Structure 1
Amino acid sequence: MSELSPQHRDLRMSDADRERVVQRLNQAAADGRITLDEFEERVAGVLAARTFGEIEPYLADLPVAPGTPVPREVVKLRSVAAELKRKGAWVVPRRIVASNKAGSVKLDFTDAVISYPVVEIVLDVVAGSTVLVLPAGASVDATDVQTVAGSVKVRGNLPEVGGQPHFVVTGRQSMGSLVVRRQYRFWGWCW
């Protein structure tokens, strides 16, 4: 797994990170690579782990999942007069440059695979709104976003420092609003 590289060993794991590792162990048990007793023992260890380094012994003898994507350093997302959207289990790069003219931007990081401790988002949005949906435990710094006939709103008591991962939002939001929030839930619905 890419999140187990040496530079990430001391990073604290989120509940979503632990769940992904448990899914990998579940697949290993289904494939017959580990016994049910080993599965139970490893899951207990993963659920008790605080950092990525602590889970390495539970995955060391298992093959890396085929097709595990490697996160890119920079991704440029561009659109004109259309909606620009990312959601689900997408791989988040270290830096995202989002440019949209006359359209909205929505980046949902709730179920995304985030391997970097800091994710930089550079906006260039004109005549459209931007919504960033952050995962549990994340923090955000959006103080350097330049607004022209627009606004920046950080909702839901998102801390400016100390969260994992930490999002740094910069750039320009013109003639529209930037909203940074957590996922909304109502009964079985999420948005």
Structure 2
Amino acid sequence: MTDDAPELRASDADRERVAEVLRDALAEGRLDMAEFQERLDTTYSARTYGELAPITQDLPVGGAAVAPRVSMTKEPEGSADWAGRITGGEGSSSWAVAVMSGFQRKGRWTVPRRFNSVAFWGGGDIDLREANFADREVVINCVAIMGGMNVIVPPGVEVIVRGVGVMGGFDHREEGVPGDPGGPRVIVTGFALWGGVGVERKLTRAERQRQKEERRQEKLERRAARKGLHSSFREEVEGAHDRMLEEHRDMLREHRDERRDQRELRREERDRRRRGED
């Protein structure tokens, strides 16, 4: 944890690093369940580095009594190409526990080859839409006892569900959807007793916004095309109307000329008759 700027806002990844230390401390017996839950709630409600720092100051990290490091700079958005998101190495978080509470894994985190999660009278969200993957095939193991979990995957990810439900169930709706070439495969397994594990496919907020902008642009282009078509049609109608008026004027002129010619003929005829009488 940095002490240079405690007033700076912490990210989701910063809170996850602190939460991981707390889980390790619970597994090692350094914290009892009540204190673990209290500190975990404080972690997820923390907004700044200064609020995160005291939570683990009395706990060792990786064998040394130092607080987990948080990043002062936010990672840039990863490439949409799957090759850039299958990073290898270890995951940034390997397990999650919710006992009469909840947990979340979302944002820019690295999914390990196997991620274990437990929800007892609680629930959890495992969001992979912006995540990187330690391997092309990862296993999300979910144990839901009188609770529920939801696994969210982005388009292009192949999903295989192998969980077992007893008076509960696993969602199989996303199975059978082919993944992108080179995309990761997510295997959802585990056990549900009086609980359930859902799997759904969603776009990221940025992708939804991009598609919304594309639809708006297409709408503007269609409107402009309709406006151009309407303008062209109006010009054609106005041109046809102008031509019709011009033809009508020509007919009137011809009619006037014809009547004038007839009057002149009658006048000449009268003049000839008068000269004959004379």
Q: TM-score, normalised by structure 1?
A: 0.56
The structure that is helix-richer by fraction is 2
Which residue of the other structure, out of 126, 140, 152, is the alignment partner of 2:170? Answer: 152
- In the alignment, is the contact (CA less than 8 A) between 1:135 and 1:182 conserved in 2? yes
Aligned to 1:112: 131
Distance 2:167 2:114 in 1: 26
Q: Deviations over 1:82-113 (max 9, x none)?
A: 11211111111110010121101210000112
Distance 1:50 1:81 in 2: 36
Q: Quote the sequence identity (%).
A: 24
Give runs of aligned pairs for residues 5-44 of structure 1, distance below 5 A: 20-21=78-79
Aligned to 2:101: 82
CA deviation after TM superposition for structure 1 residue 51, in Å: 5.2
Aligned to 2:22: none
CA deviation after TM superposition for structure 1 residue 162, in Å: 5.0
- For structure 1, the residue ranges without an aligned partner over 5 or more in a row are 1-18, 22-46, 53-67
CA deviation after TM superposition for structure 1 residue 159, in Å: 2.8
CA deviation after TM superposition for structure 1 residue 72, in Å: 3.1
CA deviation after TM superposition for structure 1 residue 137, in Å: 0.4
The structure that is strand-richer by fraction is 1
Distance 1:158 1:181 in 2: 10
Aligned to 1:141: 160
Query: Residues 79 and 162 from structure 1, CA distance in 2 versus in 1: closer, same or farther, beyond 3 angstroms?
Result: same
- In the alignment, is the contact (CA less than 8 A) between 2:107 and 2:127 conserved in 1? yes
Larger C-alpha radius of gyration, 1 or 2? 2
**Larger relative contact order (CA 8 Å, sep ≥ 6):** 1
CA deviation after TM superposition for structure 1 residue 128, in Å: 1.0
- For structure 2, the residue ranges without an aligned partner over 5 or more in a row are 1-76, 210-278
Distance 2:165 2:93 in 1: 24
Letter in 2 for 1:153: D
Aligned residues: CA RMSD: 3.2
Distance 2:196 2:171 in 1: 8
Structure 1 residue matching 2:171: 3-state secondary structure:
strand
